[in-house]
């Protein structure tokens, strides 16, 4: 065991303690500690240096991302690099609350692409009887895997990323701006660039709240939420309270109250209609 391996193991233990409130022992002799340290320590990046990303590096990272697992080798996760200034402006003007979208040197849109397989079937003279909900599910899961793989690759070389799922608030504009064909849906945007400073390390729900053994365990949720709210507030105090005109000022405002208020207002109620208009049959 080297001093570097020992230091990496300690760093992983420390960051996971901060994130989950639990001490997780890390064997210094494990392979891949540097990769685990990057994954455990990841932070959202919303401030970028005025420094371009080499197109060759972007190409490399995309190749690594597209090497990710794919359901039945269908390869249905696609990426749109939004380079054109007018197209970027059209998308980003819709989301003025996120100025970091304009600052990032790279903006990508990850998509689920279910149009390629029916075309392959037609080209090869075969029927395509699988036009149902699973086609939508498979393609969007593939696209999400490609996106998370890209984030891991980008952060491994020192880049910072910020996922922008709110682009789905304006799917029609996104479709028209990027000329997305039928059976292709946007999953999320992604800002990419060289970080201008350290991002925030977000505390997470306890591992046992999200990992289940043999049967799904939901009976402890209330206690788990209380523990997490207090732990997260201690690490990240001062969370801005949402919609106080409707809900008032809470004496204690934790993550669970914030998420409950966020989803007390309808969001993307037209997304199902958009997906169907894109040619998906969701039966």
Strand partners, 184: 113
pLDDT tens, residue by residue, 214-260: 999 999 999 999 999 999 999 988 899 999 999 999 999 999 999 99
pLDDT tens, residue by residue, 52-102: 999 999 999 999 999 999 999 999 999 999 999 999 999 999 999 899 999
Give Cβ neighbours of residue 26 (< 8 Å, ≥ 6 apart). Answer: 9, 10, 12, 13, 33, 36
Q: What is this structure's pTM?
A: 0.93
Q: Would you say residue 5 has pLDDT above 90?
A: no
Q: Would you say residue 3 has pLDDT above 80?
A: no
Our CA angle for 111, 117, 121, nearest 5°, is 165
Domain extent listing, the chain? 3-40, 55-199, 218-262
For residue 137, with 0-12 CB atoms within 10 Å meaning exposed, 13-18 middle and 19 or more buried, which class applies?
middle
Confidence of residue 283 (pLDDT cuts 50, 70, 90): confident
Q: Is the CATH code 3.40.109.10 the one for domain 55-199? A: yes
pLDDT tens, residue by residue, 106-151: 999 999 999 999 999 999 999 999 999 999 999 999 999 999 999 9
The DSSP code sequence of 103-168 is: H-SEEEEEEEE-SHHHHHHHHTT------SHHHHHHHHHHHHHHHHHHHHHHHHTT-EEEEEGGGG
């Amino acid at each position: 065991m080297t001093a570097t391996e020992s230091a990496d193991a300690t760093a992983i233990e420390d960051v996971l303690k901060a994130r989950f409130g639990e001490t997780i022992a890390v064997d210094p002799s494990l392979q891949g500690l540097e990769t685990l340290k990057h994954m455990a320590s990841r932070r959202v990046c919303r401030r970028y240096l005025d420094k371009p990303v080499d197109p060759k590096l972007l190409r490399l990272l995309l190749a690594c991302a597209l090497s990710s697992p794919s359901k039945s080798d269908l390869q249905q996760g696609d990426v749109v690099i939004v380079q054109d200034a007018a197209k970027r402006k059209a998308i980003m003007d819709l989301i003025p609350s996120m100025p970091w979208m304009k600052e990032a040197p790279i903006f990508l849109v990850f998509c689920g692409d279910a149009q390629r397989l029916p075309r392959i079937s037609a080209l090869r003279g075969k029927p395509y009887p699988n036009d149902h909900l699973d086609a939508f599910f498979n393609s969007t899961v593939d696209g999400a895997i490609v996106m998370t793989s890209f984030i891991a690759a980008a952060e491994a070389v020192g880049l910072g990323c910020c996922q922008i799922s709110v682009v789905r608030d304006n799917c029609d504009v996104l479709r028209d701006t990027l000329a997305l064909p039928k059976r292709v849906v946007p999953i999320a945007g992604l800002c990419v660039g060289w970080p201008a400073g350290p991002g925030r390390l977000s505390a997470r729900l306890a591992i046992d709240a999200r990992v289940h053994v043999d049967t799904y365990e939901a009976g402890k949720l209330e206690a788990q939420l209380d523990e997490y709210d207090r732990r997260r507030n201690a690490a990240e105090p001062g969370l801005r309270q949402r919609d106080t005109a409707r809900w008032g000022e809470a004496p204690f405002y934790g993550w669970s109250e914030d998420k409950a208020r966020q989803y007390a207002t309808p969001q993307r109620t037209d997304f199902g209609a958009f997906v169907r208009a894109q040619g998906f049959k969701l039966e």
